[in-house]
Amino acid sequence: MTAFLNRIARKTALALTIAASVSVLSSNAGFAFSSEAQQMCTGDAMRLCGHEIPNVQRITACMHRQRANVSAGCRAVMDRDNNPRRRAAASE
């Protein structure tokens, strides 16, 4: 029973860490991560940067380094959220 609970706790911690990394990737001051960013990038974060879990800063850096290898959907979210014009429009 304890082993089962430990696995559940680890999976929950992993999911929260990935959600946090997606939050950092898809946010800037004042933005919270979107469900679209979480949906599009979680698989890529696990596949490409799972070895950096649970360090959110390292996951973020890894995702930026691996940008050429992320899925088209995740790349589109990253591009959109890093576009200065969109950030300015969203903050108004």
Q: Which amino acid is at 45?
A: A
92 pLDDT above the threshold of 60: no
Mean pLDDT of 41-65: 89
pLDDT in tens, 19-39: 665 555 544 433 345 788 788
Confidence grade of residue 86 (pLDDT, cut at 50, 70, 90): low
Q: Where are the domains of the chain?
A: 2-18+35-91
For tokens 């990935």, what's the residue? 18
Share of the chain above pLDDT 70, in %: 60
For tokens 């300015």, what's the residue? 88
**DSSP calls for the chain:** -HHHHHHHHHHHHHHHHHHHHHHHHT--TTPPPPHHHHHHHHHHHHHHHGGGTT-HHHHHHHHHHTGGGS-HHHHHHHHHHH-HHHHHHHH-
